[in-house]
Amino acid sequence: MTTAQHPGRFWPAGRRDLHWHILPTTDEAAALAAPYKGLAPPGLQSVPVHGMH
Q: Within 10 A of 31 (CB to CB), how many other CB atoms are there? A: 12
pLDDT digits (tens, 9 = 90+) for 40-50: 888 988 878 88
Q: How far is CA 27 from CA 16, 30, 40, 47, in A?
A: 33, 5, 21, 15
Q: Within 10 A of 49 (CB to CB), how many other CB atoms are there? A: 17
pLDDT digits (tens, 9 = 90+) for 1-53: 455 565 666 677 788 888 888 899 999 999 999 998 888 888 988 878 887 87
